[in-house]
Amino acid sequence: EQELRLKRKAAERAFEVQAEKDRTLMRLKELRFLATSTKDLDDDDAYWIKKQKRLIINK
């Protein structure tokens, strides 16, 4: 019973660590996207990127 509890706790911790890693990677992708320059893009693409940036910043 003790061993089963320890295994369950280890599995829960591994899940939490993976979830945190996923959140960190997503945030890094968002930060990289926020650094995207729109100066060389056409108006439609620049508008879409600026809109997405606002969504990221406001979440």
Residue 59: the pLDDT is 83
Residue 13: the pLDDT is 96
Helix intervals (H) in the chain: 2-34, 43-58
Short-list 21, 20, 32, 22, CA closest to 56: 32
pLDDT per position as a tens digit, 6-59? 999 999 999 999 999 999 999 999 999 999 898 899 999 999 999 999 999 998
Residue 2: the pLDDT is 94
